[in-house]
Amino acid sequence: MPTSEAGSIRSAVSSDESGIPTGECHPRLARWTKSIRKSSLQEMLLTATRPGTVSFALGLPAPELFPAAALAKAAVDVLGHDPSALQYAPSLASLKRHIVEIMSMRGVACREAQIFLTAGAQQGMSLLARLLLNPGDKVIAEELIYTGFQQAIEPAEPCVLTVPTDRLTGMDVDAVELLLSSGERPAFIYSITDGHNPVGVSMSLDKRVRLVELARRYEVPIMEDDAYGFLSYDSAPLPPLRGIDPRWVLYIGSFSKILAPNLRIGWLIVPESLMDNLSIVKEGSDIDTATFSQRTVAAYLEGGHLPGHLRTLRAEYARRRAEMISALQEHFPPGIRWSVPSSGVFIWVNLGSGVDTSKLLKVALEKEKIAFIPGRAFEVRENHHAANCLRLNFSNCPASQITDGIMRLARLVKAEMA
Ligand SMILES: Cc1ncc(COP(=O)(O)O)c(C=O)c1O
């Protein structure tokens, strides 16, 4: 096109000073997007990384504990030996073999053919939600739950039947039974059995046994999110639901919290009959799980590093947990309750009535540069019943900063309560 012609077309379109056309289009969005809430966790990711902020906000692993040297060696070996690690490829059988071994450490017996590789637990739950949910279907979940789960199911605009969470024993299984026995038949029950996000609780053994029994009796699948199950700190951890009775449990696992989140590798353990459908849904989303990441993780596991690395993580996170609990005991006013998690990376604090933790967060960021997540962010029903609660993360903050951060937060809490 002659430049003069191009110039006259351009001049008909208004543009900013760098010549980029202004006035973007506003396409009509799908109906389900109307209920989208801004993700407070994404916003927090920006705020919490501001220099000088002590962040107890997000569930991030400790970056200084990433096994960077061993992963770097694994990555170099992979690329040095086979450039096709950068190619589209089917899921890596050797990685599935390693996952079978890892799962046996977790008390779950499974076969390679039942493992479906994903780009993290988040994608695992999204894919399952797409397979299991018709628009408007019902699901059972706890009143307070991981926000990523809410985002994963949102496109189907499901009706979420909520049940409470006991801070010592986990999901209220009586409430689940009441729903099922009164005739509700949800597409699935969502359970974070260990290291609950956000409540920090692990489900008691008798509830685990009862929940899988209910799933079997009423033929309702459980979507078990085990993102934190390998991070256990006290006595021998309990098996996940899938380890108690595999028949109605669709298990979601991930390397995010035990290796590094940006590898974006997770897995599902599901009936073989679901594999073809899962592959099709995943293909429509991201074609395949990054080959290079899969190969790097497999080479790392082949080197036998994982058990030692898990011991390091558990020891250091247990130290940080202890540091945070003793700082809470020492500096928070009496009468305030918090969970003592036996696994995972979160402590749930209930400040009692009269304190709104969303307001407290604004003051905490401005005055003391302390970040946490207010309880309301996790409410499924947005009824403010957790407005006086907050979630603290202890994995991402060096032990040396934890006491000082909790002391500063306690100062604000005392002022707020006064
Ligand atoms: C309960 C829970 N499930 C799933 C995820 C997502 O994990 P991934 O990085 O494996 O997608 C998270 C992340 O924080 C989480 O807290």
pLDDT at 1: 44
The share of the chain scoring above pLDDT 90, in percent, equals: 83
Q: How far apart are CA 352 and CA 354, in angstroms?
A: 7
pLDDT at 21: 79
Q: How far apart are CA 215 and CA 206, in angstroms?
A: 14
392 band by pLDDT with thresholds 50, 70 and 90: very high
Predicted TM-score (pTM) of this structure: 0.94
pLDDT at 95: 98
pLDDT at 7: 57
What letter does residue 29 receive in the DSSP assignment?
P
pLDDT at 4: 53
Which of 28-37, 193-202, 304-313 is predicted with the least confidence, judged by mean pLDDT?
28-37
CA nearest neighbour of 191 among 230, 248, 231 = 248
36 exposure class (CB count in 10 Å sphere: 0-12, 13-18, 19+) = exposed
Q: Answer whether residue 2 shows pLDDT above 70.
A: no
36 band by pLDDT with thresholds 50, 70 and 90: confident
Work out which ligand 1 atom sits closest to the CA atom of 225. Answer: 3
Average pLDDT over residues 382-408: 93
Query: Which is it for strands 165-166 and 170-171: parallel, antiparallel or unpaired?
Result: antiparallel
Give residue 260 CA to ligand 1 midpoint distance, Å. Answer: 12
pLDDT at 10: 58
Token pair, residue 77, equals: 């070996």
CA nearest neighbour of 412 among 323, 332, 325, 315 = 332
Q: Answer whether residue 11 shows pLDDT above 70.
A: no
pLDDT tens-digit series, residues 166-223: 999 999 999 999 999 999 999 999 999 999 999 999 999 999 999 999 999 999 999 9
Give residue 7 CA to ligand 1 midpoint distance, Å. Answer: 50
Q: How far apart are CA 141 and CA 160, in angstroms?
A: 7
- For the CA atoms of 113, 118, 120, 125, the dihedral, rounded to the nearest 10 degrees, stands at -90
Give residue 180 CA to ligand 1 midpoint distance, Å. Answer: 27
Ligand 1 pocket list (CB less than 6 A): 59, 120-122, 146, 148, 192, 197, 225, 227, 254, 256, 261, 266
Give residue 417 CA to ligand 1 midpoint distance, Å. Answer: 33
Q: Answer whether residue 49 shows pLDDT above 90.
A: no
Residue from 40, 42, 122, 153 to probe ligand 1 pocket by mutation (most atoms less than 8 Å from CB): 122
pLDDT at 94: 97
Average pLDDT over residues 141-165: 96
Residue from 116, 145, 256 to probe ligand 1 pocket by mutation (most atoms less than 8 Å from CB): 256
More confident residue, 5 or 89: 89
Work out which ligand 1 atom sits closest to the CA atom of 261. Answer: 9
Give residue 6 CA to ligand 1 midpoint distance, Å. Answer: 49
Q: Which residues pair with 105 in a beta bridge?
A: none
Token pair, residue 327, equals: 């700082």
Which of 49-58, 274-283, 298-307, 337-346 is predicted with the least confidence, judged by mean pLDDT?
49-58
46 band by pLDDT with thresholds 50, 70 and 90: confident
More confident residue, 8 or 278: 278
Average pLDDT over residues 392-396: 98
Quick check: 144 and 162 in contact, CB under 8 A? no
Give residue 22 CA to ligand 1 midpoint distance, Å. Answer: 38
Which of 49-58, 141-150, 219-228 is predicted with the least confidence, judged by mean pLDDT?
49-58
Quick check: 44 and 373 in contact, CB under 8 A? yes
State the average pLDDT for the chain.
93
Q: Answer whether residue 292 shows pLDDT above 80.
A: yes
Average pLDDT over residues 20-25: 82
Token look-up 């019902």 returns: 138
Helices (H), 106-222: 120-132, 147-153, 173-181, 205-218
